[in-house]
Structure 1
Amino acid sequence: MQIYNTLKNFTENFFTKEKGKINIYVCGITVYNYCHIGHARIMIVFDVITRYFRTLGYKVNYVRNITDIDDKIINQAFKNKEKFNILTERMIKAMHEDEKTLRILPPNNVPYATNHINEIIVMIKKLLKKGYAYLADNGNIYYRIKCFKSYGNLNNINFDNLKSSKRIELDKYKENQLDFILWKKYKSNEPYWSSFFGKGRPGWHIECSVMANIYLGDTLDIHGGGIDLTFPHHENEIAQSEAVTGKKYVKIWMHVGIIKFNNEKMSKSLNNFFTIREILKKYHPEVLRFFLISSHYRTPINFKIKSLEFAYKSLNKFYIALSKIKVVKRSFNDFFLKKFFIAMDDDFNTPKAISILFDILHKLNLKLKLKSEEASFLAFDLINLGGILGILQNKPYNFINYCKFNLPLNVKEIEKQIKLREIARNSKNFDESDRIRKELNNLGIFLKDYNNFTEWNI
């Protein structure tokens, strides 16, 4: 298996730290609003990755954290006139509901930052003791990056350009403007925790270093997140963790491409995002999932509603075929299976894997026309391999009937009309046969005739 490593900027052979076991840490959601489709992409990508590793027989320990204390959370709670933890509890509940709807399997652990404040304080204390951190005159604690010689390797940083970057928060109390905050001194009307260096709350970066270490140890096999987290978040995680442990923090860094809308990054701060819930008001959850895995995980996506329409029609083709056959639990064609696994071993190439599912579908439809028993085995392959991607697991009729805006008749009524048309054709009543076809066409349902079979689609 080969995986692209952001740290090295190339695809490399993947070997785990411990044979047969994989530990994965993914930066999760800052829970101050409902999850948008950018969050859905990250969750779905790593759901597919963990599903695939488990299919290969690995024991996977997958951790995805929740940031439940942050400036954005505090500001939103203040705006809502509610306590910050009431806001986060509501958003966490909504996040889990969205995950379940999208068939995202729960990680092994989903730790909250606020449940690990004591461990965060311990790590900061170690950084202070080693000279990697300092207590400033304003009561904040900062990380001293000049002490960490490999700082910037993940992002190939040009420090002269970085000093003028908008992503660096200017602060007169810092020794160096590139230093970053570990602990924020308490401000009135803000939540705080007590520590030996005073009341306050943790900075964003330190929480992931701590939780990754608690649940997965000193060295991670894979660390993932959005590509926008490489700097400063992941760069700072490396500096914190390796300064404390003296060990390599991560073997392979995996980053998911951003989602754009009108060629601009989709984000809560820009208010140009679609929540998962907004999309699912109109589209079946599997449509969103299929759309997001139809692009390689590292590729940026420019979101268009038209893309969801295409994803729906693609999935519908699979489910229409599956609705016509009784599945036999037996794999028939090793050729397709091998091709699928080769695609997934190539840096989790889901678009290629999906193209192989279409190859199986094409052969399945041919076998259906011939009324061959091989069709049942191919249907099993579709469902089995689709399950690794988290798709094709619904009952065909349930999926086809779900999107009423696209399908004016239910499946049984469509098939009844096709049967009546077949009777009319066999009786040489071509006027009636044409009438039924035209009526279905007017509803957006199109028929294609073969020697002994009629296929319908939308």
Structure 2
Amino acid sequence: MLRLYNTLSRKKEEFVPLNEGKVGMYVCGPTVNGIPHLGHAMSQVSFDLIRRYLIFSGFDVKFVSNITDIDDKIIAGANKAGLSIGEFSEKNEAGHKNEYAKLNVMSPDVQPKATEYVSEMIELIKKLEEKGFSYLIEDDGVYFDTAKFEGYGKLSGQNLEMLEIGKRKKLTDEKRNDGDFVLWKLAKEGEPFWESPWGKGRPGWHIECSAMTEKVLGLPFDIHGGGGDLIFPHHEDEIAQSEAGYGKVMCNYWMHNGMITVEGKKMGKSLGNFRNIEDLKFPSMAIRYFVVSNHYRRPLDFSETALTDAKNSYERLKRLVLGLEDDGKINEEYLKRFREEMDDDFNCPRAMAVLWDLVRDEKALGKVETIKKIDEVFGLDLFEREEVDVPEEVQKLARKREEARKGKNWKKADEIRDLILEMGFVLKDVENGVVVERK
């Protein structure tokens, strides 16, 4: 029985999908105003793993994750780069997709772009207007009246009297309530716009996900995911818009991944500790292992030391796995243990411990096929051998070393190993032989 932590109820709940055997899942994707950073990697890998385990558990998953391709930062970035908004966002979108692919993140089944659903956003705002949940501020935009929505704050635990205003910019003094948020921004001179009943403008950020989820998944759907920083105001506002406008519950389970810290401090450009994925001099699978080894709800503290340790652990694990012999069997005991840990709110650290126990268990049968099943979830490509162009001379030396070892001529074997090392290669002794790798 799968149990997951629901941010809405603040407790673990048994997962019961709306339609037996099927899961509708939406995860907030990136705003493509720049290249992807470690926070993106954390969220993308965490929810990729959750998606993979749902599939592993037999569910038919429809996974939707959006692209926000219009907002203030995108407009500013495009102007600075001398590009059109479309060119700027498409360039960054390609960068995101490239990095996610390296991290072995599965592509969404549907990936809606905000600019493709503006008409649906306008229709939702019209519904909110008809029901009395919105108001217009001249020369500014259309706002959601949070005081009119009785359930506002139920996701984040905030209330209108003690609202965490610091997380929402106060754009105007004419708002009815400090917590009110923009649904439609009226365009300023030179800004991109769409025609609307309220004048030329563009949608607010929060309205995008509400309109796209209703169109692509329908309401309610099963799981809505995103980073913990989105709980308020973004997801709180999504709930208010969707439930007020469509008159339906938005979704049943809200899931949020922990945030990235850097050596114990919050990651941020202003703090000078911002880390883009492409700047990290580590293999993508080492970064994935780093994230997968952490519980998705916990903060993940980045440091060069921590990532180096993850890289070394991943390489050792892969080396051990590639040295195993396949007996064609499945080890049901270990697979059961793996499922039990993952069924407990996707407890990856404990599930990873099960994998390591299996690899180290000298008496266990069915190692290879069982690890293949587990890696369907972890997505670590443990059985992918890297193509290494090994010179014939090195291969001959490796064979001579094997002969020396079989003859128990350890001194000669060590001398050959050192010679191979000088040539830029290392020998990894595994269960059924030796693997030659670049140093």
* CA displacement at 1:178 relative to structure 2: 1.2
Q: Distance in 1 between matches of 2:413 and 2:164?
A: 74
Partners of 1:182 and 1:275 lie apart in 2 by: 31
Identity of aligned residues (%): 38
State the one-letter code of the partner of 1:88.
Answer: S
12 and 166 in structure 1: CA distance in 2 versus 1, 3 angstrom threshold: closer
Match of 2:377 in 1: 388
Report the AA paired with residue 202 of structure 2: R
Is structure 2 residue 174 aligned with structure 1 residue 194?
no
Post-superposition CA distance 1:258-290 (Å, at most 9, x none): 1111323224676632222223xx332211111
Contact 2:165 2:179 in 1 (8 A): no
Distance change in 2, residues 1:87/1:158 (3 Å): same
For 1:265, the equivalent position in structure 2 comes to 266
- Which amino acid letter does the alignment assign opposite residue 96 of structure 2? M
- Aligned CA RMSD, in angstroms, stands at 2.9
What does 1:351-366 correspond to in 2, within 5 Å?
351-363=349-361, 366=362
Q: What amino acid sits opposite 2:298 in the alignment?
A: T
Q: Counterpart of 1:285 in structure 2: which amino acid? A: S
- Equivalent AA in structure 2 for residue 359 of structure 1: D
Query: Which residues in structure 2 correspond to 1:226-237 (within 5 Å)?
Result: 226-237=227-238
Match of 2:30 in 1: 29
Q: Please give the residue correspondences for 1:185-264 in structure 2 after superposition, counting only pairs within 5 Å.
A: 185-264=186-265
8 Å CA contact 1:238, 1:249 repeated in 2: yes
The answer on whether the counterparts of 1:287 and 1:312 sit within 8 Å (CA) in structure 2 is: yes
Deviation of 1:396 after TM superposition, in Å, equals 2.9
Report the equivalent of 1:18.
19
Cα deviation code 1:340-367 (max 9, x no counterpart): 111111111111111111111112xx36
Provide TM-score, normalisation by structure 2: 0.90
**1:342 maps to which residue?**
340
Question: What is the CA–CA distance in structure 1 between the aligned matches of 2:405 and 2:138, rounded to whole Å?
Answer: 89
Counterpart-to-counterpart distance in 1, 2:397 and 2:305: 29
Which one-letter code corresponds to 2:264 in the other structure?
N
Residues 411, 345 of structure 1: alpha-carbon distance in 2 compared, 3 angstrom cutoff: farther
Per-residue deviation, 1:432: 2.8
Q: Tell me, what secondary structure is at the counterpart of 1:165?
A: helix
1:150-165 pair list within 5 angstroms:
150-162=151-163, 165=166
Q: Residue 255 of structure 1: SS of its match in structure 2?
A: strand
Residue pair 2:112, 2:212 contacting (<8 A) in 1 also: yes
Which residue is equivalent to 2:415?
Answer: 435
Aligned to 2:330: 332
5 Å-filtered alignment, 1:17-416, equals 17-162=18-163, 165=166, 167-267=168-268, 272-279=273-280, 282-325=281-324, 327-328=326-327, 330-363=328-361, 366=362, 377-398=366-387
Shift of 1:166: 5.1
Asked whether the 8 Å contact 1:323–1:397 carries over to 2, the reply is no
Distance 1:306 1:416, change over 3 A: farther
- TM-score normalised according to structure 1 size: 0.87
By how many angstroms is 1:326 displaced?
A: 5.0
Aligned length: 436
SS of equivalent residue, structure 1 residue 291 = helix
Looking at structure 1, the residues matched to 408 and 189 of structure 2 have their Cα atoms a distance apart, in angstroms, of 85
Distance (whole Å) between structure 2 residues aligned to residue 347 and residue 415 of structure 1: 47
Task: Give the match for residue 371 of structure 1.
Answer: none
Aligned to 1:61, the other structure's residue is in SS state strand
Q: Could you say if the C-alpha distance between residues 427 and 241 of structure 1 is closer, same or farther in structure 2, counting changes exceeding 3 Å?
A: closer
Aligned to 1:406: none
Alpha carbons 1:382, 1:392 under 8 Å: kept = no
DSSP-derived class of the 1:201 partner: strand
SS at match of 1:181: strand
- Deviation for aligned residue 1:415: 7.8
SS at match of 2:117: helix
Distance in 1 (alpha carbons) for counterparts of 2:353 and 2:282: 22
Distance 1:245 1:427, change over 3 A: closer
Of residues 431-440 and 193-202 in structure 1, the stretch that sits farther from structure 2 once superposed is 431-440
The answer as to 2:7 corresponding to 1:6 is yes
1:164 positional shift: 5.1
SS at match of 2:183: strand
Q: Which runs of 5+ in 2 are unaligned?
A: none
1:223-276 residue CA offsets vs partner (Å, 9 max, x unmatched): 000000000000000000000122211211100111111323224676632222
Give the match's secondary structure for 2:182.
strand
Q: 2: CA distance between counterparts of 1:411 and 1:155?
A: 60
Offset from partner CA, 1:309-338 (integer Å, 9 cap, x none): 22222222232233334545x333100010
Residue type of the alignment partner of 1:360:
L
Query: Structure 1: how far apart are the matches of 2:108 and 2:165?
Result: 39
Deviations along 1:427-450, whole A, 9 cap, x unmatched? 565543453466678989698899
Supply the distance in 1 between the matched residues of 2:393 and 2:143 (Cα, whole angstroms).
67
Q: Deviations over 1:168-199 (max 9, x none)?
A: 42521211121110001110111100111100
Distance in structure 2 (CA, Å) of the matches to 1:320 and 1:199: 59
